Chains A and B, each alone.
Chain A
Amino acid sequence: MVQIDALIRVRDLHKIYKMGDVEVPALRGVSLGIDAGEFVAVMGASGSGKSTFMNILGCLDRPSRGSYLLEGQEVGSLSPDQWAAIRNHKIGFVFQGFNLLPRTTALENVELPMMYNGLRGGDRYKRALDALSLVGLGDRLHHTPNQLSGGQQQRVAVARALVNRPSLILADEPTGNLDSTTSAEIMELFQNLNAKEGITVVLVTHEHDIAAYAKRQIHFRDGLVTSDEKTEKRDTE
């Protein structure tokens, strides 16, 4: 089943790590497609290959074999600089550990991706301000990460992921370092972005209640997809 508007299409994706003389397969033939506007949770135990899969989707790692089409473009054969451009324009990352620059204000952290695409100072400021307002931190512009709570830091990270208007947000265990209340807030933020802004979200998690926020769940085990199903929308309950 080939969809015309597939945002992501991977076919027979293999990734093999070499540990000395031993070859460790992390992905052993993954094929799937994700459409624009989907909210997907990628689940699996550690070592299931889900992180490797995310790294490949995020243009941080190269598959050993197989093809990866992002918006119809074959990504595997591109140069590192072209990858950097894709990461800059098309993908926003949200990490478990927030990964904000320390001793740097929320505003400057959000402006960071725009420093690498030649946007002018005035436009940078305006877009960073918009992104921070969207995640509800319009009044925390000049706070540095250590002056913000974990939930607020993750909101800054989400704003940073949004600021270049990517077609895809990749979130790697975004609630792993947060308590359940804050986790719920962040997940609702993702849900809102997906529903109202139409941004595609791919989320890695091993918690079922977090995965339940997504509209589709993909399970990994031993480098293969074991299940792939659409779920009930939780926000309609």
Chain B
Amino acid sequence: MTLRIALRALRRNKLRSFLTMLGIIIGVGAVITMVAIGEGAKALVRSQIASLGTNVLVVLPGTVTMGGARTGSGGVQSLVDADAKAIMEEVPSVALASPTLRQTQQIIGGEQNWSAAVQGVAPELQQIRDWVVEEGRFISPADVDAAAKVALIGQTVLENLFPNEEPIDQIIRIKKIPFRIVGILGPKGQTSQGTDQDDIVMIPYTTMQKRIMGVTYVQGIAVRAVSADKVKQAQTEIAALLRQRHRLPPDRDDDFNIRNLSDIAEAASNSATVMAILLGSIASVSLLVGGIGIMNIMLVSVTERTREIGIRMAVGARSRDIMLQFIVEAVVMASIGGALGVLIGIVSSDIVHRTMEWPILVRPDIVAIALLVSSGVGIFFGFYPAQKAAHLDPIEALRYE
């Protein structure tokens, strides 16, 4: 009943009602869009982090000071594959460890050639980095022991070397050495720095050491902790183990570096959250402005309709009937504005997604909250004008011109 009266009152002044709603429409639309962009960024960061593997630590060779000049990270050849074995076997908080070596090489295969990262790995790396084998198999322990000339190729390499052929059991040549393809890696996409993780060839690390690089050290050790809360513990324990293995006296610095990917992940995710909150709060300000607009127009409306209020009181409306009428009017206006705002927010999020190619994520709970908040804005900013209307003196109101 009251709802019908409110709708009729709003219809009577279509343009004015619309302009009043516009504040809420823009406010809610902005909130939805901004939060969608923020959440999209967060989701992207999360998926990139997941592609690096969860609970992952990376051990890198450290720096060394030679005549006052410090080499960069990885400047010393302090890590060997036995370190990786020891980490996996002796540190209880570590589940898996794999030595890694990496070098960009020209790959010749089929009738093409292609430059890609060649990575020497142990079988454990598949689980550490959550690699999916799309076809064929991963590197086996036997491959490592025999320094076998077998390889897995990533999606980008596959597309460039064997666009139309079955790659399994084909031969590719790296530094003129023939490798048999035993598997194809599933897609991983880009890292947050834009590196294509699929532009890769994986071979046993022993093969990499002996045949490609001619070295005995390893360039890094990828480690997976048993669980997320054991990552920190694993970091300390690995450090202690390596210091002992490398016979470092207490006054010497570590000759290795342990990087915790989940720290990086957390930082990235946190900054995305901060961005989402920032965008959301800027947008909320426009919602507030929209609410003030509603209050303004409701005050004008109460003055304009003083006589109507007088008539309603004369025929038996109680103060609370008048109050309810104006609050419902404000809430209806705010809610319609909110609903239109949600619509516009979703549409403009989609436009942002299409034109800027930004990832976006419209969360249903944010939509529900936006609708609730806009009704709340209606109640809050409609209250004062409604109270003013309800407290009018009927005699004065009837005489009002």
Q: CB-CB < 8 A to B363: which residues of A?
A: none
**A55 contacts B395, C-beta separation under 8 Å:** yes
**A116 contacts B395, C-beta separation under 8 Å:** no
Q: How far is the CB of A52 from chain B (nearest CB, A)?
A: 10
**B313 contacts A84, C-beta separation under 8 Å:** yes
The B interface, classified by DSSP as helix, strand, loop or mixed, is helix
Q: How far is the CB of B13 from chain A (nearest CB, A)?
A: 10
**B395 contacts A87, C-beta separation under 8 Å:** no
Contacts A88-B315, A112-B312, A160-B315; is A60 near B394 (CB within 8 Å)?
yes
B12 within 8 A of A: yes
Distance A85 CA – B321 CA, assembled complex (angstroms): 12
**Contact pick for A60, options B5, B307, B314, B319, CB 8 Å:** B314
Contacts A95-B398, A99-B398; is A84 near B311 (CB within 8 Å)?
no
B85 within 8 A of A: no
What does the 1/0 interface line of B1-44 toward A look like (CB < 8 Å)?
A: 10001001000100000000000000000000000000000000
**Contact pick for A84, options B1, B308, B317, CB 8 Å:** B317
Distance A218 CA – B24 CA, assembled complex (angstroms): 58
Distance A179 CA – B38 CA, assembled complex (angstroms): 70
**A81 contacts B319, C-beta separation under 8 Å:** yes
B67 within 8 A of A: no
**A80 contacts B311, C-beta separation under 8 Å:** no
Q: CB-CB < 8 A to A45: which residues of B?
A: none
Q: How far is the CB of B302 from chain A (nearest CB, A)?
A: 15
B318 within 8 A of A: yes
**B308 contacts A101, C-beta separation under 8 Å:** yes
Number of B interface residues in the complex (CB < 8 A): 21
Q: Which of A126-166 contact B (CB under 8 A)?
A: 160, 164
Q: How far is the CB of A36 from chain B (nearest CB, A)?
A: 21
A195 within 8 A of B: no
A117 within 8 A of B: yes
Contacts A112-B315, A113-B315, A116-B315; is A60 near B1 (CB within 8 Å)?
no
**A87 contacts B398, C-beta separation under 8 Å:** no
Distance A148 CA – B5 CA, assembled complex (angstroms): 22
Distance A93 CA – B395 CA, assembled complex (angstroms): 12
Instruction: Name which residue of chain B comes closest to A82, CB basis.
Output: B318
Instruction: Name which residue of chain A comes closest to B394, CB basis.
Output: A60
Distance A68 CA – B315 CA, assembled complex (angstroms): 20
Instruction: Name which residue of chain A comes closest to B11, CB basis.
Output: A103
Instruction: Name which residue of chain A comes closest to B307, CB basis.
Output: A99
Instruction: Name which residue of chain A comes closest to B315, CB basis.
Output: A113
Q: CB-CB < 8 A to B321: which residues of A?
A: 84, 116
Most A CB within 10 A of own CB, among B8, B312, B316: B316
Distance A118 CA – B139 CA, assembled complex (angstroms): 81
A61 within 8 A of B: yes
**Contact pick for A61, options B8, B12, B395, CB 8 Å:** B395
**B395 contacts A84, C-beta separation under 8 Å:** no
Interface residues of A (CB under 8 A from B): 55, 58, 60-61, 80-81, 84-85, 87-89, 93, 95, 99-101, 103-104, 112-113, 115-117, 160, 164
Interface residues of B (CB under 8 A from A): 1, 5, 8, 12, 307-308, 310-321, 394-395, 398
Sample 13 A-B pairs with CB under 8 A, ordered by A number.
A80-B318, A81-B319, A84-B316, A84-B318, A84-B319, A87-B314, A88-B316, A99-B307, A100-B311, A101-B308, A112-B311, A112-B315, A115-B317
Besides A58-B314, A100-B311, 8 other CB < 8 A contacts?
A: A60-B394, A84-B318, A87-B314, A95-B398, A99-B307, A112-B312, A116-B312, A116-B317
Pick the 10 closest A-B CB pairs, nearest first. Answer: A88-B316, A113-B315, A116-B316, A84-B318, A81-B318, A87-B316, A99-B311, A93-B314, A116-B317, A60-B394
